[in-house]
Structures are given as structure tokens and as C-alpha cells.
Structure 1
Amino acid sequence: MQNLPIKLYRAAQVRKLDRIAIQERGIPGFELMSRAGSQIFQFIKEKWPDARSVAVFCGSGNNAGDGYIVAGLALEAGFKVCVYAISEPDKLNGDALLAYRKYADAQGVVMPFRPERPVNADVLIDALLGTGLDRPVSGLYAEAIQAINAHSSPVVAVDIPSGLNADTGNVMDFAVKADCTLTFIALKQGLFTGQAAEYCGEIRYAQLGVPGDVLASLDAAAIRVVKTPLSRRNRCAHKGNYGHVLIVGGELGYSGAARMAGEAALRVGAGLVSVATRIEHAGLMNLSRPELMCHGVETPKQLTALLAKADVVVVGPGLGQSDWAKGLFNAAISSGIPAVVDADGLNLLAAVPAAKSDWILTPHPGEAARLLNRSNAYIQQDRFAAAVSLRASYGGVVVLKGAGTLIASEHQLAVSNTGNPGMASGGMGDVLSGVIAGLLAQGLSLQDAAQQGVYNHGLAADLAAEKEGERGLLACDLMPYLRQLVN
């Protein structure tokens, strides 16, 4: 798999980079288009060496120009080629028109797209719509996308799957489901969150010879999280060197959440973990994990002594929203200890909003909606904007969970792409809160603990799923892989 760049950009930024390359660095637009087409055709030959025919779906913009370049190269190489045009190619502009005319001069076949017309090809190429899409897809474009998705042959998307918003990763009513997306000049942030995971397939990247200092001339909108190894432990270290995490949660009937958060903190290397829970649970919770120090706590005053010994507090796993929960929650967040707030801790926070600089909030979209007093659909409409808004309202660091989890901190917006659908099961969030707290207790900053916690949590799930499959994956299945990853 290709190592992708870390920096991500918005669509408008990529268009600006394109203009800089053309106008200030003297790289002709048609040359960039030709390089893009060449990259796509080379990839097709490598990925599907037995392919002998391609169908190219072209729209009305520069994305179509890339498609015509690919079609011309395939024709020259002896492939059977047909271009299905959504708009009249003679009405294309600039470099795209030049690319079409070059293909037409080589006697290339162009047919107007008709939904009822069968498409026969070994590989389909989506060059319908580019990164400038800002409205729902309809009409013939929607029908072409549906035809592509109904076809059994592999699909390659040019720059971005048509119908996918380049900034948010959301589908604009219809979008191509590609097996691979080849994206150019700079990575678009929408390829890595929202609904993108279902539509992009494998993401490949080509800089097209644009100088690196051109990309460096603009600040990235976000970054991709990559693994940062933890430092080697001192041979003379002891448990006190690696922090004491206190888990606050486990209302009657929900002891498992606090138990899993506690073990996760230990598995990533926290020196000590205590659990403050209901008296009914305290004597039983550590039977299967005796390393946890479990305490029955019924009042905020009883919690005070435990908070005094802790370096990090996790509040929320299985906490509930009773008067008992509210009392412990208020004591925890007013203690002055760095906190990780999850689950019912977030619901209690939404009821009485506050802002702190030393906590990490870990909402899923539903909890994020409550925190912002918005709908779930609003959050998912633009996850980047929602994460930034949450961070502005509540301070600290915000982890907006989901496919392409976002981590918003004071100076950086990041996205992590580890994880899989098998994580759609109870307890995964509790494990994540413990992982982040365990890293925070070992001295990582709030930003690094959140980013690396999310990354390793998702990667542990990927390793577990690789061995046994996604369906039926349990939160506790991650534990041995978490230990492996932090080492």
C-alpha cells in the first residue's frame, strides 16, 4: 500500500495550488492533465494486467479532460475503448477540450451516455465530476453514477468519486462507489471521513511533479494521524513513573464499561488504575482483572480522596445520569485533574455546558449533537466543522468518533483512518477512553494522547478483525493488540 502524505487540504486550496503551479511555476495545465491521465492508465495496467477494454465516463469539466487522456493512452496501447459522454464534448473548455480533440483525432469512440445502453468493459473509469461539486447530483449524471455502481467491473475514480463532497466526505445524493481513487496534487480532506470510506476504495496519490514548496505555500486544513512510537522505558522505572488513572463510572447494571476502560488504560501502559464505582460492583469488578483497584464510592466526598491520588480521571463509562452520577461527575471535572470525558459524562456536560483547557471529550455523533444542541444530521453533514465547533465551545481536545475519527485541538485538526465496521458494538468507546487516559497518564500531551489513542485503538481493532473477521468483534478483543501496539 502506498504511503500517503500527512497533509490534507480543502477543495478551494487544491484549486489554488493548481493555479500556482500553472501561473507561477509555468507548468502548463494540459501537462498536468496529461500526467494525471498517465498515472491513471499506468495504475490500471499494474492493478488489472489482464484488462483489455475500458469504459470512460466523462462529464463537462477538467475531470473529463483527465478521462479523455486516459482513453487516448488506452487506445494507443491497443485497448478497446469507449467514452460515454454526459455532455457534448465539443462544448468542453480549455485543456479538457484539447484532450477530447486529441482523443477524437486518434479515431477514439465517443458515445452519448444512455441509461438503457449496455456497457461492456474490463475496467470503468469515473471522470464525471470533480472536486468543485457543491450541489446534489441529479439528471443524467445521477443515472450514469447508478449505471457505474450497478456494473460488475472494477471502477477507478479520477481525483475523487463523482458525487462525493471533497470537503466533507458526504454523498451529494448519488456517488460512485470506486474500487480505487487516484487523487492528484494534494489530498482532499473529504476523502478521509464522513461517508468516504464506503465510496473511495483504495486511495492512491500522485503529486504530478508539482514542487513541494508549492504545497508548502498553503497551511494544510487538517492532517492524517500516523503512528508515533512511544519512547523506550528507563530500565530503572517503577509504576509511579507512568501515572495513576482513575475511572469514574459503573452505575448499577453497567459495571462492564468502567471495567473495560480500566483494563485498556493498563494495557497501554498506565502505572496504576483505580475504579470508583457503585459499592455493589466494587468487590466483584476486579475478579477477572485483579490489577484494577476498585472502590465503592457513593458520595462526591468519598471520591475526593481518590482524586487526590490520581493523575488523570476518566468520567463517564457506564456512569448513568442519576443524582449519584451528577455528584461524581461534578467532583471529577472540578478537581483540576486532566480528564477524559465520555458516554454519560458527555450527556451530563450537554445539560450544563462548561469549557476547560485540560480535558479530552470523546463524543460519537449523537453525543456531539446534544453537546451542540443540533441534530445528528447536522453533525454528519460537515464533521470537520462540527469538530471545530465543539472544540470552540468546550475547549481542550475533542475526539469526534466515526468512520474517519476527527481530533480537534487548539492548533490542529486531525483525522485517523484506522478502524473498521466491526467496532460497531458496545464497549468500544469505553476502551478508547481508557486508552487515551493511559497515554495521557504516561506524559503525552492532550493532543498526542488523543491522536495516538484513536489511531492505536482503531489499529488494534483492525488487527483483531484481520484474524477473526469484523462481525462479532468485541471490545475486549482489542486488549492484546493494544499491548502489542504500544510496544
Structure 2
Amino acid sequence: MSKLPYEVFTSDEVKQIEADHAKSHNGHCFDLMQRAGKSVFDYIIRECGDAKEVWVFCGKGNNGGDGYIVASLLLENGIKHRVFATGIPHEGSEASYAYELFIKQGGSVEYELPNNGLVQEAGAEIIHVSKPDLIIDALLGTGIESAPTGITAKWISYINKLNTFTVAVDVPSGICADTGGVPGMCVCANATVCMLALKPGLLTSDAVDFVGDIEFASLDVDTNGYHEILTESSYKSPLPIFQVGFDDLQDALPIRLPSYNKGDNGKVLIISGARGMGGAAIICGNGALRSGAGLVKIAMDPSNVTAMLSVRPELMSIDFNDDKSVIEAISWADAIAVGPGLGVNERTAKLISFLSDVEDQNLVFDADALNVLATFEQDYYRENRVLTPHPGEAARMLNISPDEVNADRLSACYKLQQKYGGVVLLKGPGTIVCDGKKLTIIHEGAPSLATGGSGDLLTGIIVSLLGQGLSPENAAIVGAALHGRAGFLEGIKKGMIGTLPMDLCQNIRELINVKD
């Protein structure tokens, strides 16, 4: 898998990039289409070189044009292939040039799915008498916003039923390139060759289940810094979008000098763990310690203290029912996390109200802190905190449904930041961080993280990084990437199913020290 670019562009921004390219290339982008097809062909040769027969499925738009370029290269190189098309491209379009080039080379196009004995119906099942070694999906590109219908939907279903290694051209057909939404049927790709600019929809929401490995091809167009070029353009998205992985963040990891003592490495207060919910506090505290916090104090219900100390004696505790002790701890701490396992009640509401008015303090609001914050009628826009909602909590905070949040996660994260201020980290597939100036997609994570307590661990990591001097934005970004990579590594080692949050702690320790 190739290294992905830092900058991410919406489909409208890509149109502007293409328009700018066309201005210097006689008003067209056919050269980009040729490079796009060549990049897919090169991927086939490099990664799928043993494929003896390739089927290319083309739509009528430019994505289909890319597919015809691939087919032309297959033909030139003597690779057995078949090309299926939902229709002939519109006359005069760049896709039609690619189509005509393929036909002039002696290529042939089929406009119906195979019905000549290649596929036989057997009740509800489909038996494949013969099928290709590789499929190229060039049916739909970046313009889709609604569910595919008609012949396109039928062909997508057919491709998926073939159960053959599939390479998508730019985006899997049926996926929204801007949001990652999957409004209907979509191609389940094993790999996606994304071209010219990285699209946000490949990195977040439901689409992550369908894109497979992402290969990026720049098409020899330099888009570095293009967000600034687009600033005055009508194609500009509300905020520039970027993506990072853990490997991109080595320089942002906290340092530990030989002269440091425990107090220099961050004093963290975690207000968490009502009666019967001490596990959240313990997991959160472990996340803070293993990511490097020098001192961690838990304000919790006294009934949880014995259990906590039996698991992690390095954690200190105070009674969160003792207002004086809590206020003293707030003054003591370099960073404070509040919410996991706290409960939604009047006391939590008073605490959140009080903390929201504390100046010059680094805060992380999670779980019940967010649920309480969502009930406040007054304006609680603040800059000195990190909010870490999952889609359900985000929905309550925006007074919309979780489905609406997941339909456009980038927009939801942006709206949360505009309403509540600070830094917002929207959990889920393709975690998103917004600081009001840009949106950053964290290209890390794994199914192993989909378990209770995973978010508590993340909160502990973020508050630890805040305590060690990282800015709220960097603490959120580095914390999410560290958490995601740790979950991935644990899943690879022992399986994605059955992983527990505490299983990640050794990976976290190793990763936080990677700069050493």
C-alpha cells in the first residue's frame, strides 16, 4: 500500500483541480484519464500479475473512460480480458475518446452480463462455471450521492456475487466520495486505486468496509498546498481536510528528558467512576499511565477504590463526593478528564458547569460529561477542552439522529466544533478531529476497538498527552492515532474479536516510546 498524501479533497475541489489542469492542456483532461488508466494497469501488473483473465466493468462517465484505458493496455499487452459496459459514453466526452481508442485497437465491448453458461442459477445460489481472476470496477466515480439504480445496481450486485479480487478505479462504485456514505448497493473492493487527489469518503464512515487497500496515484499533478489555492474558490469545503496515521506523528510524541521527575511528566486528574461503574475509571487511568502521565489521580466513588488499587496500585484516588478534595485536585492537575462512568445526574451537571468556567485548564469531556452538556440550554462554547463523542453522543449534542451523524461525519464534527468550541474528536470508523480551522481524519483503527471501555482508554491517553504538554488539537490527533494503531496491532497478534481495552496497554507503552 502506497503512502497516502496529507491533503484530502472533496469531489468539487477535485473538479477545480481538473479545471485548472485543463486550462494549461487545451481545455481537456484526457491526459489525466490516460495516466489514471495507466496507474490502474501498473497496479494490476505489480500486485495481481498472476491474473490470467481480467474483466473490466465500465460506466458511461469518466470513471468508465479510465476503465477503457485499462482495457486498451490489457489488449496491448496480450492479457486476456472482457469489457462490459452499461452504455456508450456521451459523444465528445473524454470517456468517449477512451472508448473509441479501445475500439480502434480492435477491442470489443459487451452490453449485457454473461448469460452463455458462465453463470448458472441454482436455487438461491449462483454457481460460477467460469469467472475471471480479476475484476476492474469502473462503473461509477466520485459524483454519486444517491443509491445506484437500474442496470448499474444490477451489475454491482453481479460483481459482488462473483466473489473475485476486485480493484476499484478511484472509488468503489456506489460510495459517496465526500462522506463515505453507502446509500445503497456498492462494490466490495479488495483494493482501490485513488487518483489525482485523496477523497475523504475512502477514509471514514461505512465506506471503510468496502474500499480495501488504498493505492494512491498522483497522476504527476502536484496538489500540495492546493487548499490555499482553493481558498477563494466556490468549490472550497467549509474547512480544509487532511489525513494522518501514527507514522506521520513521530515528531509530535511527548519527550522525557533525563532531568524530569514525575511531576514534570504531567499531573492528571480523572473524574470518573460512580458506584457500580468503576471499570471506566480504571481503564481510563491505565490509558493515562501507559501513555506517559507522571501522576494520575482518580476522583471516584469510594466503593470502587479497593478494586482499582488491586489492579493498578500506581493510581491515586480521592472521594468525588468531597467537593473540597475535588476542587483542590482541579487546581493541582495539569489536565483533567471527566465523564466516563460518571452517570447523568444533578451532581454531574453541576460539575460540568463548574469545569466549563474554569480558565487556564486543559479539559477532556467524554461519555456522561457530553450527555450532560447536551442538556444545557445556555451557551457553553469553550476553547480549552477536547470533546470526544461517539455518534450517539454527537447526535444528542446536535439534536439530530445517529443516522444523520453517520451520513456525513465530517459535517457533524464541524458542526459540533462550531457549537461547542475547543477541539472535537468524533469517534467511529475514520475518527475525525476538528479544531475550527481544519478537519483531520485519523487513518488508523481496527475492529478490535469496537468493545466497551475502548473510549475510556482513549480518554485516558488524550488527557495524559495534554498533561505532558501537547496542545488540545495534537493531544486529540496523536491520542486517536496511538489508540488506533495499538488496537490494530493487538488485533493482528491475537485476533480482532475478543480484544479488551486493557489488552492494548503494552502496545501503547511500546508505541509512545517509538521515538526513543
- Using the size of structure 2 for normalisation, the TM-score is 0.91
Q: Which moved more, 1:270-279 or 1:45-54?
A: 45-54
2:308 counterpart of 1:285: yes
Identity of aligned residues (%): 40
| Counterpart for residue 257 of structure 1 | 280
For residues 336 and 285 of structure 2, the distance between their equivalents in structure 1, rounded to whole angstroms, comes to 11
**Is 1:223 aligned with 2:223?**
no
Q: Distance in 1 between matches of 2:357 and 2:272?
A: 16
Report if the CA contact (8 A) 2:254-2:469 is conserved: no
Q: Please give the per-residue CA displacement for 1:339-396, whole angstroms capped at 9, x wherever unaligned.
A: 1011111111111152211010000000000000100111011100000000000000
Residue of 359, 370, 391 corresponding to 1:346: 370
Could you tell me how far apart the structure 2 residues matched to 1:276 and 1:114 are?
65
Is 1:447–2:498 an aligned residue pair?
no
CA contact (8 A) 1:133 1:165 kept: yes
1:175 maps onto 2:186 in alignment? yes
Among candidates 493, 503, 512, match of residue 467 of structure 1: 493
* Equivalent position amino acid for 1:111 in 2: E
Q: Deviations over 1:239-285 (max 9, x none)?
A: 11122111101111100101111111111111111000112123432
Paired AA for residue 39 in structure 1: S
The answer as to whether partners of 2:245 and 2:443 remain within 8 angstroms in 1 is: no
Distance 1:67 1:366 in 2: 40
- Checking the alignment, whether the CA contact within 8 Å between 2:254 and 2:470 is kept in structure 1 is no
SS in 2 for 1:275: strand
Counterpart in the other structure of 2:35: 35
For 1:400, the equivalent position in structure 2 comes to 426
Which residue identity is paired with 1:441?
G
1:128-167 correspondence runs (5 A) = 128-167=139-178
**Structure 1 residue 412 and structure 2 residue 414: aligned?**
no
Deviation of 1:114 (Å): 3.3
CA distance in 2, matches of 1:212, 1:363: 32
Conservation of the 8 A alpha-carbon contact between 1:20 and 1:214: no
Q: What secondary structure sits across from 2:216 in the alignment?
A: strand
| Offset, 1:232 | 3.7
- CA-CA distance at 1:411 after TM superposition: 1.3
Unaligned runs of 5+ in 2: 120-129, 232-238
Q: Distance in 2 between matches of 1:26 and 1:267?
A: 58
1:106 corresponds to: 105
C-alpha separation in 2, matches of 1:79 and 1:453: 47
Distance verdict in 2 for CA 1:425–1:125, change over 3 Å = same
- Aligned counterparts of 2:203 and 2:483: Cα–Cα separation in 1: 17
CA–CA separation in structure 1 for the residues paired with 2:57 and 2:51: 17
Q: State the shift of 1:333 in Å.
A: 3.3
Are the aligned partners of 1:115 and 1:147 in contact in 2 as well (CA < 8 Å)?
no
Alignment of 1:257-406 (within 5 A): 257-336=280-359, 337-352=361-376, 354-406=380-432
Paired AA for residue 300 in structure 1: D
Question: Is the CA contact (8 Å cut-off) linking 1:81 and 1:109 kept in structure 2?
Answer: no
Distance 1:25 1:445 in 2: 44
Q: Which residue type is aligned with residue 42 of structure 1?
A: D
Q: Which residue of 1 aligns with 2:95?
A: 96
Q: Distance in 2 between matches of 1:158 and 1:284?
A: 53
Give distance in 2, aligned partners of 1:392 and 1:100.
Answer: 47
Distance in 1 (alpha carbons) for counterparts of 2:418 and 2:223: 32
> How much has 1:25 moved relative to structure 2?
5.4
SS of corresponding position for 1:464: helix
Shift of 1:24: 2.9
Q: How far apart, CA to CA, are the structure 2 residues paired with 1:392 and 1:12?
A: 23
Q: Per the alignment, in what secondary structure is the counterpart of residue 205 of structure 2?
A: coil
Q: Is 1:205 aligned with 2:216?
A: yes
Distance 2:284 2:448 in 1: 19
- Secondary structure of 1:443's partner? coil
User: In 2 relative to 1, CA 284–85 (structure 1 residues): closer, same or farther, beyond 3 Å?
Assistant: closer
Contact 2:51-2:133 at 8 Å conserved across structures: yes
- 1:67, distance to aligned residue in structure 2 (A): 0.5
Q: In the alignment, which residue of structure 2 is the partner of 1:246?
A: 269
Report the residue type matching 1:405 in the other structure: T
Contact 1:59–1:128 under 8 Å retained in 2: yes
**Residue of structure 2 equivalent to 1:67:** 67
* Paired letter, 1:32: L
Q: C-alpha offsets along residues 90-114 of structure 1, whole Å, 9 cap, x if unaligned?
A: x454221111111111221211133
Q: Which moved more, 1:244-253 or 1:231-240?
A: 231-240
* CA distance in 2 between partners of 1:8 and 1:251 (Å): 42
Partners of 1:231 and 1:292 lie apart in 2 by 21
Contact 2:88 2:96 survives alignment (8 Å): no
Say whether 1:57 aligns with 2:57.
yes
1:307–1:335 contact (8 Å) kept in structure 2: no
- Whether the 8 Å CA contact 1:303–1:331 is kept in 2: the answer is no
What's the CA shift string for 1:128-155, capped at 9, x where partnerless? Answer: 1111123321111001111111112111
Gaps in structure 1 of 5+ consecutive residues: none
- Compute the displacement of 1:421 (Å): 1.1
Q: What secondary structure does 1:37 align onto?
A: helix
Instruction: Give the distance between the partners of 1:456 and 1:302, measured in 2 at CA.
Output: 32
Q: Is the 8 A contact 2:146 2:184 kept in 1?
A: no
1:28 Cα deviation from its structure 2 partner: 5.1
What is the DSSP-based 3-state SS (H/G/I as helix, E as strand, rest coil) of the residue aligned with 2:230? Answer: coil
Task: Give the superposition deviation at 1:231.
Answer: 4.9
Root mean square deviation of aligned Cα: 1.8
CA 1:476–1:385 in 2, change beyond 3 Å: closer, same or farther?
same
> Deviations along 1:280-303, whole A, 9 cap, x unmatched?
123432222111001122143441
Equivalent of 2:460 in 434, 440, 462: 434
Q: Does the CA contact (< 8 Å) of 1:168 and 1:382 recur in 2?
A: yes
Taking a change above 3 Å as real, the CA distance of residues 116 and 392 of structure 1, as seen in their structure-2 partners, is: farther
